[in-house]
């Protein structure tokens, strides 16, 4: 998806997000849904972001694996998140296409590809958190830590203490590791993880179970954090809440009022949640 509403002569930043490379990690789809819903909404922050940042989003990198009900691998039996170094157009077609697009964007003088974020779900850890890369340059190390710190301020379920930066050899073929070495030193690549089950907020004594709505809320807060990162807060006419609720997000719809807007209701949120759940149940339906 591309949201490009700024004049051509003004350079815009590029942000690339991918999700669901591991088909069993369905929370990643809800987080990605939250990002997309917010960015196409009429919320003033979303409108500012569309005016200053190009977002390219691949919400499902492994559609065949999702359809088959696989947990980690593709139709051909590959863990796609280990084949970024040399993806085959035959065996890993989605990875091959996305890698080509990212390389093209990184070489385009009209824009600056600054972020790659790959959304996953984690089976043993709590909260949302990030993995980043290790660099020799100390200034780059500090700059890489900025986005997770800002996200921690916006999302109460994001854990900075669980966030880490590593150079694990086993992860060399992942999107975060490979693209972190491919892109220039102004680009930052992260894996965004979210717990399969619960999160703990500051001062709490018991974990809170994640729901589809709280997963999507994390996605909205990820998108909102780019306003802080790019220092666009001054463009917001009236200061809105730090944490964005679904009731604050408005959408363009074909059958809406004269202004072209409609408010998201609990029914709307549930309908989108059901769509994702139905995708996850395709295998059971096909083989019943």
Q: Would you name the residues annotated as active-site residues?
A: 193
As a 3-state breakdown, the chain gives helix, strand, coil percent values, each rounded to 5, of 40, 20, 40
195 HSE (CA, 13 A, CB side): 20
- 221/227 Cα distance (integer angstroms): 10
Quote the longest CA-to-CA distance of the chain: 56
Characterize the bridge pairing of strands 188-195 and 261-263. unpaired
Task: Reduce the secondary structure of 134-157 to three states and give it as a string.
Answer: CCCCHHHHHHHCHHHHHHHHHCCC
Strand segments (E) across 20-143: 53-58, 111-122, 128-132
Q: What angle do CA 169, 68, 199 make, to 5 degrees?
A: 60
Do the Cβ atoms of 34 and 215 come closer than 8 Å?
A: yes
């Amino acid at each position: 998806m591309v949201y490009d509403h700024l004049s051509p002569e003004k350079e815009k930043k590029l942000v690339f997000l991918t999700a669901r490379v591991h088909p069993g990690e369905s929370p990643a789809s809800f987080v990605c849904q939250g990002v997309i819903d917010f960015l196409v909404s009429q919320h003033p922050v979303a409108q500012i972001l569309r005016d200053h940042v190009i977002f390219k989003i691949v919400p499902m990198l492994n559609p065949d694996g999702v359809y088959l009900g696989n947990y980690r691998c593709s139709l051909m039996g590959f863990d796609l998140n280990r084949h970024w170094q040399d993806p085959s157009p035959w065996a890993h077609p989605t990875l091959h296409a996305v890698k080509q697009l990212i390389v093209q964007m990184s070489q385009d003088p009209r824009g600056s590809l600054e972020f790659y974020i790959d959304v996953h779900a984690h089976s043993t850890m709590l909260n949302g958190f990030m993995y980043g890369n290790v660099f020799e340059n100390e200034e780059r190390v500090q700059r890489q830590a900025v986005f997770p710190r800002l996200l921690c301020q916006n999302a109460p379920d994001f854990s900075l203490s669980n966030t880490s930066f590593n150079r694990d050899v086993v992860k060399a073929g992942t999107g975060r590791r490979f693209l972190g070495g491919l892109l220039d030193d102004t680009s930052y690549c992260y894996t965004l993880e979210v717990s399969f089950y619960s999160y703990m907020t500051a001062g709490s004594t018991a974990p809170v179970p994640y729901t589809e709505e709280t997963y999507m809320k994390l996605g909205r807060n990820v998108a909102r954090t780019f306003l802080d990162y790019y220092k666009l807060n001054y463009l917001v006419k009236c200061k809105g809440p730090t944490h964005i609720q679904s009731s604050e997000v408005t959408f363009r719809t074909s059958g809406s009022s004269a202004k072209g807007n409609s408010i998201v209701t609990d029914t709307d949120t549930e309908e989108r949640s059901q769509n994702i759940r139905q995708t996850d149940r395709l295998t059971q339906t096909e083989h019943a």
